């Protein structure tokens, strides 16, 4: 595959986002797939984040033992129980349960709260070919580790795929799991070309053709546990209402960062919780859209 030509990064600002068509409320369903035995809350964070973007319909899929509790915690969502392995990971057999849902969803987020990279890889192998031709896909967390080990898994959704790695997951996606990722722009561009996806890495958004944007609004507080699940949900929710993957991803990243900025006066940089970001998201959207 030819190496993409890297362009000079464009700063992501509120003014730039307003120049683009503001994302509309999603007209279809956002489906979030994850929630292993020990980490069901990740799906809750992603799902509520998707709803906060204006997504109309939400579906959540977690291991069966947590489905009822999640349904009570997020009464706005349809919740589906999935089979699990003996170790508590979502089983690859979950693809059979999800087949009809992924075929009809407008956006599918896979990864929050998943466990076991091998089982997740087997799930992706079965699930991604079943996703509707017009459905956008976000991969996060253990789904990224599986993709890093087996890049061919994403071929069925090339061109409509967004990846939201942290630096550890980025190293796997680059095929260099033991090497540090220091140059976020170079890494994001390489990952985007390697996996034919839009990438959001630490405030850098890159397209497979080498176009790249950078957002300086983030801060260390956004490294709090669960924050990445919120970001993945924001991306999924915006993809349900936007025709442009990169623009939706830039919007999601900036809203995520600005939600964190709003919390700093109350929590400081190190005291914020990912769940607190969710209440700030609608306010950030209102400010950005109002200009």
| CA proximity to 33, closest of 86, 78, 87 | 78
**What parts of the chain have a pLDDT lower than 70?**
1-6, 22-27, 291
Q: pLDDT value at position 229?
A: 98
Residue 161 lies in a domain: yes
Would you say residue 3 lies in a domain?
A: no
Q: Show the CA angle centred on residue 200, arms to residues 112 and 238, nearest 5°.
A: 70
DSSP string across 243-289: S-HHHHHHHHHHHHHHHHHHHHHHHTTTS--HHHHHHHHHHHHHHHH
Instruction: Supply the pLDDT for residue 162.
Output: 98
Residue 235: inside a domain, yes or no? Answer: yes
5 lies in some domain: no
Q: Rounded distance, CA 95 to CA 119, Å?
A: 12
CATH number, domain of 133, equals: 3.40.1190.20
Tokens of 164: 């939201």
Q: How many CA atoms lie within 13 A of 261 on its CB side?
A: 12
pLDDT in tens, 78-117: 999 999 999 999 999 999 999 999 999 999 999 999 999 9
Within-domain flag for 73: yes
Count of the separate structural domains present in the chain:
1
Query: Which residue range is the domain that position 119 belongs to?
Result: 10-285
The pLDDT score that the predictor gives to residue 243 is 79
pTM of the predicted protein model: 0.95
Strand order from edge to edge, sheet including 161-163: 10-11, 212-214, 204-206, 198-201, 161-163, 136-139, 107-110, 29-33, 57-63, 78-82
- Between CA 278 and CA 256 the distance in angstroms is 9
Residue 193 lies in a domain: yes
What contacts 79, CB < 8 A, 6 or more positions away? 59, 60, 61, 62, 67, 68, 70, 71
Tokens of 153: 């898994």
Return the closest-CA partner of residue 28 out of 48, 52, 55: 55
Give residue 24's pLDDT. Answer: 65
Please state, in angstroms and as integers, the Cα–Cα distance from residue 197 to each residue in 36, 44, 60, 161, following that order: 26, 25, 24, 5
Whose tokens are 């080990």? That residue is: 149
Q: Would 107 be classed as within a structural domain?
A: yes
Q: Are strands 78-82 and 198-201 parallel, antiparallel or unpaired?
A: unpaired
Asked if residue 291 is part of any domain, the answer here is no
* The pLDDT of residue 109: 98
């Amino acid at each position: 595959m030819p190496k993409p030509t890297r362009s000079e990064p464009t700063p992501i600002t509120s003014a730039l986002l307003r120049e683009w068509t503001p994302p509309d409320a999603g007209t279809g369903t956002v489906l979030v797939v994850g929630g292993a035995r020990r980490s069901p809350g990740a799906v809750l964070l992603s799902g509520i984040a998707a709803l906060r973007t204006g997504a109309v319909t939400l579906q959540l899929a977690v291991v069966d033992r947590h489905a009822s509790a999640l349904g009570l915690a997020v009464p706005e969502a349809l919740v589906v129980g999935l089979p699990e392995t003996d170790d508590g990971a979502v089983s690859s057999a979950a693809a059979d349960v999800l087949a009809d849902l992924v075929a009809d969803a407008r956006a599918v987020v896979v990864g929050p709260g998943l466990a076991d990279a091998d089982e997740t890889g087997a799930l992706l192998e079965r699930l991604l070919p079943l996703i509707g031709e017009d459905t956008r896909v976000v991969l996060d967390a253990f789904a990224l580790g599986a993709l890093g080990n087996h890049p061919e898994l994403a071929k069925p959704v090339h061109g409509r795929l967004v990846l939201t790695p942290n630096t550890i997951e980025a190293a796997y996606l680059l095929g260099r799991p033991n090497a540090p990722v220091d140059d976020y722009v170079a890494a994001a561009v390489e990952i985007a070309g390697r996996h034919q996806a839009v990438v959001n890495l630490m405030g850098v958004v890159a397209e497979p053709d080498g176009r790249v944007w950078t957002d300086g609004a983030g801060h260390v507080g956004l490294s709090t546990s669960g924050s990445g699940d919120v970001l993945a949900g924001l991306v999924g929710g915006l993809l349900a209402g936007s025709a442009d993957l990169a623009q939706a991803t830039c919007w999601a990243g900036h809203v995520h960062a600005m939600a964190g900025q709003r919390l700093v006066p109350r929590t400081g940089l190190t005291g914020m919780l990912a769940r607190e970001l969710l209440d700030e998201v609608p306010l950030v959207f209102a400010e950005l859209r109002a200009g």
